[in-house]
Amino acid sequence: VNQILLLLLVLTVCAILYNKVHQVPLALKNETVDLESPEEMEEEIPVVICAAAGRMGAAVAAISSIYSNTEANVLFYIVGLKTTIPHIRKWIENSKLKEIKFKVVEFNPMVLKGKIRQDASRPELLQPLNFVRFYLPLLIQKHEKVIYLDDDVIVQGDIQELYDTKLAPGHAAAFSDDCDLPSTHEMIRSVGMQNTYMGFLDYRKQTIRDLGISPSTCSFNPGVIVANMTEWKHQRITKQLEKWMQRNVEENLYSSTLGGGVATSPMLIVFHGKYSSINPMWHIRHLGWSPDARYSEQFLQEAKLLHWNGRYKPWDYPSVHTDLWENWFIPDPSGKFKLTRPDS
């Protein structure tokens, strides 16, 4: 009996020693994983930018400015049409932007069939890629939060700050209010630009009046969007936007002769009273509304994001504050895209 007890004791001691010896590497392994996981799980910031034919230099400059001013883990979704995708891919892969993380996404313009009312006054506003922002959940599958930027912007701040914009519960998107910065009021007055719903919707139409939205309500600019994809899908935002596009085809509720053309107006209707606000300095607008009206240099240096919305683009002539834009421009390796300058 004593021998059996002694044998059991020896076996128990051996088992304890064995477990201790073999648990140490396991503990160290777990600890190592925990130490490495924050870097491995660094949050990805998806940024959607369109690359349209004739404007690819704009997309490249926007991407360059974002990439150069942040340490964040940015993933660029570059959206184009089938005919333009090879050009933008070659531009990126054969320039200093080859280090960026990006995916090229093809947009099928057939989704817009029957939803756009033809308007000859400003045909550029009817280009298919102007409506990419309506279809974000169809293009971006795995992200909860997404940034959408028009191509005619330059980012001077850290894009992480914009991504950290808080969206109120139940809000699918955040925009910049067109009445948010006193510094922009003089610019708006000088170019005769509308910053209320009256400038975008035709209040002579009963359908618009039935919305119950005061024509003096301040508009917002959807050229910079921070979007919550879960809320967007839950509220069926894309379907709502498409409904108003189709109603415009039938009733001519808004047109490109008004302030925002055909892409802004349905968003003003669908998101009325249901959006969060972006920090005003993260969307300084109207730089493209006049070839003469200028902001002060000090104000522009403090701005986090500059937007040349309007007809006068910084890659064309005439335009204002082109030096700030050209700082981030990367020449086209193929030579197809060229800047228009007074001496060119």
In a domain, 307, yes or no: yes
Cis status, amide bond into 318, omega within 30 of 0: yes
Work out how many domains the chain is built from and give that number.
Answer: 1
Give the dihedral sign, CA 174/255/54/281: negative
Separation CA 14–CA 42 (nearest Å):
43
Given this model, what pLDDT does residue 141 score? Answer: 86
Tokens for 327?
């700082």
CATH number at residue 163: 3.90.550.10
In a domain, 105, yes or no: yes
Given this model, what pLDDT does residue 183 score? Answer: 61
Given this model, what pLDDT does residue 34 score? Answer: 34
Given this model, what pLDDT does residue 290 score? Answer: 86
Given this model, what pLDDT does residue 226 score? Answer: 98
Taking the chain (344 residues) in consecutive chunks of 10 residues, what is each chunk's mean pLDDT? 62 58 35 37 90 96 98 98 96 96 96 82 74 95 96 98 98 90 60 75 95 94 97 98 95 70 90 96 91 90 95 95 97 96 83
> pTM for the full model?
0.85
Given this model, what pLDDT does residue 166 score? Answer: 98
Domain with 283 in it: 45-183+220-235+275-327
In a domain, 56, yes or no: yes
Given this model, what pLDDT does residue 182 score? Answer: 62
In a domain, 142, yes or no: yes
Separation CA 95–CA 104 (nearest Å):
16
> H-helix or E-strand containing 237?
helix 237-251
In a domain, 302, yes or no: yes
Given this model, what pLDDT does residue 294 score? Answer: 87
Separation CA 120–CA 126 (nearest Å):
9
Given this model, what pLDDT does residue 178 score? Answer: 83
In a domain, 215, yes or no: no
Place of tokens 């939803």: 115
Given this model, what pLDDT does residue 10 score? Answer: 61
In a domain, 297, yes or no: yes
